[in-house]
Amino acid sequence: MRCPFCGHEDTQVKDSRPTDDNSAIRRRRYCPSCGSRFTTFERVQLRELTVVKKNGQRVQFDRDKLARSISVACRKRPVDPERVERVVNGIVRRLESSGESEIPSTQIGELVMDALRALDPVAYVRFASVYRNFREARDFEEFISDLAETNLKD
């Protein structure tokens, strides 16, 4: 692991332990070159995932990007960060265990929409406004009226 401060390649692990939710390994590291200490979080990756975007472009799946978009949707909402982390872990697990190495971006978007709908209605609408590319107030009105109708049926 490269030192983030000086770039030295050979850092030493001083302590390793699982995170509270057992989704990663927390490692305290030391750089013998500059004396810096830093923490890394390492996750087991079941398979290399590639996201196929709507325009056909293929990019490597980025777990952090997924976590950021869900966190942005939940910003200033009464949603515990640990619940967001569990949602992200659940989505990643579903993608990795799907058996496919290429995942359409629309599939990821729908998984996020489903998870946010159960997590927080405002975060759900926020994410949907970006994901579905709302352009006018009417788009919000239609989406929310559809949401209200669906909630009445449930």
Mean pLDDT confidence for 24-40: 95
What integer pLDDT is reported at residue 6 of this predicted model?
Answer: 96
Number of domains composing the chain: 2
Distance between CA 131 and CA 29 in Å, rounded? 39
Sequence letter at residue 37: R
> Which strands make up the sheet holding 37-42, listed edge to edge?
12-18, 25-30, 37-42
What integer pLDDT is reported at residue 50 of this predicted model?
Answer: 95
- Report the chain's terminal Cα–Cα distance, integer Å: 50
Q: CA angle, corner 60, sides to 58 and 64, nearest 5?
A: 135
Distance between CA 71 and CA 69 in Å, rounded? 5
Q: Report if pTM > 0.75.
A: no
What integer pLDDT is reported at residue 74 of this predicted model?
Answer: 96
Give me the domain span that covers residue 94.
50-153
Residue-wise pLDDT for 108-151, tens only, equals: 999 999 999 999 999 999 999 998 888 888 888 888 888 877 76
What integer pLDDT is reported at residue 152 of this predicted model?
Answer: 61
Please tell me whether residues 35 and 81 are part of one structural domain: no
**Two tokens at 119?**
């997590």
For residue 96, pLDDT beyond 80: yes
Please tell me whether residues 19 and 90 are part of one structural domain: no
Does some domain include residue 107?
Answer: yes
From the list 90, 120, 14, 98, the residue with the least C-alpha distance to 51 is: 98
Residue-wise pLDDT for 44-76, tens only, equals: 666 789 999 999 999 999 999 999 999 999 999
Distance between CA 154 and CA 147 in Å, rounded? 11
Please tell me whether residues 26 and 76 are part of one structural domain: no
Categorize the per-residue pLDDT at 153 as very low, low, confident or very high, splitting at 50, 70 and 90.
low
What integer pLDDT is reported at residue 154 of this predicted model?
Answer: 58
What integer pLDDT is reported at residue 43 of this predicted model?
Answer: 76
What integer pLDDT is reported at residue 28 of this predicted model?
Answer: 97
Please tell me whether residues 137 and 70 are part of one structural domain: yes
The answer to whether 45 and 17 are in contact (CB under 8 A) is no
Categorize the per-residue pLDDT at 80 as very low, low, confident or very high, splitting at 50, 70 and 90.
very high
Beta bridge partners of 27: 16, 40
Q: What is the DSSP string of 19-51?
A: -TTSSSEEEEEE-TTT--EEEEEE---SS--EE
Please tell me whether residues 61 and 125 are part of one structural domain: yes
Please tell me whether residues 36 and 55 are part of one structural domain: no
Does some domain include residue 19?
Answer: yes
